[in-house]
């Protein structure tokens, strides 16, 4: 059910909308760090998207119906993007020296607040997925997929909330980032697409066919161990 450019919020909503048409015993919910980051925005590459918010402890969907002007008028998206880039550049030039400290502090506060909201929403998404699978008599498995950036820049914050949710909600977690980080760098370089290797520019940093094969084998091995453990422990 994978969709290009989806955040965890969209993947969750897509699954909920399709669940009545699905028959499954195991639900593998796989994601990368960027999928968590995308939960914080109402758009991706200029296209509108729904966004999840917490209201009195319940998940609510906002920015719906999703704006569609960018699909009907692609040139508007291009103009808006250029204007925004110019405005941002001018703002940075004007205020960089005089207000550098203030801007940095405010950005840190805003980012921290955003991240806390995202952590709470993420936890609630996993909680709801666990409930759906319990009612369906199926097993939910979380899979934290690696990207090349995370091999050298460990996602401590996201990893902490994911591991906490996995432990508290008793959802098995397959952490492939840690597994990739234990491999030699020369080996992991072959797992990812690099600039110029394919014509599709946005493919940079994604897994190669070989990388996908390695990931699939790792997940398969982990599933055998975790499902065997769960079966024996019941």
The rounded percent of the chain whose pLDDT value lies above 90 is 55
Confidence check: pLDDT of 4 > 90: no
Mean pLDDT score across all residues of the chain = 82
Q: Decide if 167 is inside a domain.
A: yes
Q: How many CB atoms lie within 10 A of CB 141?
A: 22
**What integer pLDDT is reported at residue 79 of this predicted model?**
52
Q: Decide if 119 is inside a domain.
A: yes
**What integer pLDDT is reported at residue 87 of this predicted model?**
55
Q: Decide if 15 is inside a domain.
A: yes
**What integer pLDDT is reported at residue 199 of this predicted model?**
77
Q: Lowest-pLDDT range, 4-8, 129-133, 169-173, 189-193?
A: 4-8
Identify which of 119, 117, 123 has the alpha carbon closest to the alpha carbon of residue 171: 123
* Domain total in the chain: 1
**What integer pLDDT is reported at residue 197 of this predicted model?**
83
Confidence check: pLDDT of 200 > 80: no
- The answer to whether 204 and 193 have CB atoms below 8 angstroms apart is yes
Average pLDDT rounded to a whole number, residues 126-130 = 97
**What integer pLDDT is reported at residue 194 of this predicted model?**
87
Peptide bond into 209 cis (omega under 30): no
Q: Decide if 1 is inside a domain.
A: no
Look up the domain containing 163 and give its range.
Answer: 8-233
The set of residues, in sequence order, having a beta carbon less than 8 Å from that of 81 and lying 6+ positions away, is 46
Q: Decide if 204 is inside a domain.
A: yes
**What integer pLDDT is reported at residue 205 of this predicted model?**
82
pTM here is: 0.78
pLDDT tens, 59-113? 999 988 887 754 555 555 555 555 555 555 555 545 444 454 444 444 455 578 8
Q: Decide if 2 is inside a domain.
A: no
**What integer pLDDT is reported at residue 67 of this predicted model?**
79
Best mean pLDDT range from 2-11, 130-139, 148-157, 220-229: 130-139
Q: Decide if 154 is inside a domain.
A: yes
pLDDT tens, 203-213? 788 899 999 99
**What integer pLDDT is reported at residue 69 of this predicted model?**
55
Average pLDDT rounded to a whole number, residues 117-142 = 96
Confidence check: pLDDT of 53 > 90: yes
The set of residues, in sequence order, having a beta carbon less than 8 Å from that of 191 and lying 6+ positions away, is 146, 148, 180, 207, 208, 210, 211, 214, 215
| CA torsion, ordered 19, 5, 192, 26, to nearest 10 deg | -10
**What integer pLDDT is reported at residue 204 of this predicted model?**
81
Q: Decide if 3 is inside a domain.
A: no
């Amino acid at each position: 059910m994978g969709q290009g450019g989806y955040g965890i919020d969209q993947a969750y909503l897509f699954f909920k909308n399709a669940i009545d048409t699905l028959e499954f015993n195991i639900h593998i919910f796989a994601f990368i760090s960027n999928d968590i980051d995308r939960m914080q925005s109402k758009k991706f590459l200029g296209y509108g998207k729904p966004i999840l918010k917490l209201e009195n402890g319940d998940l609510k969907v906002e920015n719906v119906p999703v704006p569609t002007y960018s699909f009907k008028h692609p040139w508007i998206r291009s103009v808006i993007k250029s204007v925004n880039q110019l405005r941002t550049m001018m703002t940075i030039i004007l205020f960089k020296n005089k207000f550098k400290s203030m801007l940095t502090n405010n950005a840190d506060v805003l980012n921290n607040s955003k991240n806390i909201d995202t952590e709470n929403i993420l936890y609630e998404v996993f909680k709801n997925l666990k409930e759906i699978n319990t009612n369906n008599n199926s097993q939910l498995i979380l899979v934290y997929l690696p990207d090349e950036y995370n091999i050298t820049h460990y996602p401590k914050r996201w990893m902490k909330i994911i591991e906490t949710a996995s432990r508290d909600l008793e959802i098995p977690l397959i952490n492939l980032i840690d597994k990739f980080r234990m491999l030699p760098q020369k080996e992991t370089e072959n797992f990812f697409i690099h600039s110029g290797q394919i014509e599709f520019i946005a493919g940079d940093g994604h897994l190669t066919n070989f990388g996908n094969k390695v990931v699939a084998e790792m997940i398969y091995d982990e599933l055998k161990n975790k499902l065997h453990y769960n079966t024996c422990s019941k």
